[in-house]
Chain A
């Protein structure tokens, strides 16, 4: 089956620093990737949708300048949390699809803790 990886699986950073999370589709080319955020014991909230080679589309309420998304190739999307604060601590999950009609394949998630 299609595999999506994320790196790192967990990261701790200090308040005010930036952290980058990578999402890779390992065995297919992803025309579209999605970034979700999940708070403890809560549901996944879609943050943004990114298409290869174009700017990401952010959901309402998500700060574009804080959560920078780059989908530079058909197998890699990155999420950079800039000037991180403790309230950014969360579980970030990406997913990818080979085409619009396909199901989404999810990565295992990245646990971010901002101290």
Chain B
């Protein structure tokens, strides 16, 4: 079975400082991994996805993630946080069917002035 574990339920950073949201995955085969962001009262938005191409994946809004097979990790980073980045972030792995998604529990990112 495929699953992800988000290591932090809450992360707080100051505006302008780097962001690191951690995610470990478990998969019996080469997985497809995603990061989604959920702003209040808005639909989930895809930030980036890894599908066995380049291990460093660049997404929208300056986010990127690196797939590390040896560490079974797919951490999300951003060099400089913006106030608008405050939201809930989900690490996601594709399920057995190949397109159904298994969500992590989410990390709430707080950005302080």
Which residues of A does B touch, CB under 8 Å? Answer: 4, 32, 34, 36, 41-46, 49, 93, 95, 97, 100-101, 103-109
Contact = CB atoms under 8 A, between A and B. Distances in A.
Interface string B83-96: 00000001000010
A106 B88 CA distance: 15
B32 to A, nearest CB: 10
Contacts of A32: 99
Given A41-B108, A100-B99, 8 more contacts: A42-B106, A43-B103, A46-B95, A46-B100, A46-B101, A106-B36, A106-B45, A107-B43
A46 B97 contact: no
A9 to B, nearest CB: 8
Contacts of A95: 44
Interface of B: 34, 36, 41-46, 49, 90, 95, 97-106, 108
A103 B100 contact: no
Interface SS, A side: strand
B100 A34 contact: yes
5 contacts: A32-B99, A34-B100, A42-B105, A42-B106, A46-B102
A108 B90 contact: no
A93 B43 CA distance: 8
Nearest to B97: A49
B90 A44 contact: yes
B98 A104 contact: no
